[in-house]
Amino acid sequence: MKVIGTGFGRTGTMSLKIALEKLGLGPCYHMKEIISRPSHIKIWYNRSRGDNINWDRIFGEFESAVDFPVSLFYEELINKFPDAKFILTVRDFDSWYASTTNTIYKVPTLLPHWFKMIAYPIRIFIEMQINLIWVGLFKNNFSDKDFTRKVYYEHIENVKKTIPNDRLLIYRVNEGWGPLCEFLDVDVPESIPFPKVNDTAEMLRKFALIRSLPYLFILFLVGISVLLLQLI
């Protein structure tokens, strides 16, 4: 593991993931990697309930990692990977809070309870997020903006106190390639624009697709029922 992000989700972590991969520091672990790996969902779910985590198993094929939930465990990871560099992505609090409120904070309520109960991986993925982020980090009080502001800035200060200056970059993704490449001691990619992805509008389009899953499931069951009736 060469590079680890300590910034909260919605601070440009997906853009940073893609940037690191373009710089040859990938594949980069991100929340989206967990979604596509049921075994990882279970590992993180168990961690959210107090179990230890096998970092070598999680990161086996990866060169870097960013985003929730990895960014919550930088104190463990700084000792586990003594040669790794750390990047703290930050953005204006008010814009971050608005973006988070309108996107990932809504994930636990996107799907009806009945669907989550029959879709076990989805259910424990959501419970893992609740346990680690909305309860563990924000103490089930994210809707209190002043409280969340305090948590946000305390995290930044704790990261700065914990990680030595020569291993830490405090970074806004709108700064582009320059500071990132200088910190990582790599050349700036020629003719490749810095990635800018996963803005609020894009996330909301994805959420609309997620909300359609229960209805697609019902249509699938109806289709199977009709087919079986025709065969009888």
Architecture of domain 3-223: 3-Layer(aba) Sandwich (3.40)
Q: What is the structure's pLDDT at 205?
A: 77
Q: What is the structure's pLDDT at 212?
A: 75
Q: What is the structure's pLDDT at 221?
A: 57
Q: What residues have CB less than 8 Å from 8, skipping those under 6 apart?
A: 68, 71, 89, 96, 100, 152, 155
Q: How many Å apart are CA 163 and CA 79, to the nearest integer?
A: 10
Q: How many Å apart are CA 99 and CA 104, to the nearest integer?
A: 8
Per-position pLDDT tens, the chain of length 232: 999 999 999 999 999 999 999 999 999 999 999 998 999 999 999 999 999 999 999 999 999 999 999 999 999 999 999 999 999 999 999 999 999 999 999 999 888 888 888 889 999 999 999 999 999 999 999 999 999 999 999 999 999 999 999 999 999 999 999 999 999 999 999 889 999 987 777 777 776 777 777 666 666 555 655 555 555 5
Q: What is the structure's pLDDT at 220?
A: 59
Q: What is the pTM of this model?
A: 0.89
